[in-house]
Amino acid sequence: MVVLRRFKENIYAYFLREVQPHVEEAWINLDATKIGYEISFNKYFYRHKALHSIEDLSHDILKLEEITDGLIREILAL
């Protein structure tokens, strides 16, 4: 669930507290600044998928090696 709250803090105060200490040369153009929100969809909706096991990957690579008639072995100079 994504919860948005109203941004009540002064933009310049936020900039000085959260940005300036980390990036000295940072600056802000207050005339062009707009208040808004960015929702990180990855943060809220990402679902991890387990990676293939090393055995499965090795099997797939060896199968490809057979299909390509030793081309991978030749490229890798094995």
Q: Is residue 18 part of a domain?
A: yes
Residue 19 contacts by C-beta under 8 Å, 6 or more apart in sequence? 26, 28
Domain count, the chain: 1
In a domain, 64, yes or no: yes
pLDDT classification of 78: cutoffs 50, 70, 90: low
Q: Is residue 65 part of a domain?
A: yes
Is pLDDT of 53 > 90?
A: yes
Q: Is residue 51 part of a domain?
A: yes
DSSP 44: H
Winning range, highest mean pLDDT, from 17-21, 64-68, 69-73: 17-21
**Confidence at 37, pLDDT banded by 50, 70, 90:** confident
Give the count of alpha carbons within 13 A of 71, CB side only: 6
Residue 3 has pLDDT above 50, yes or no: no
Looking at the chain, the whole-number percentage of residues with pLDDT higher than 90 is 21
Element (H, E) at 15: helix 11-18
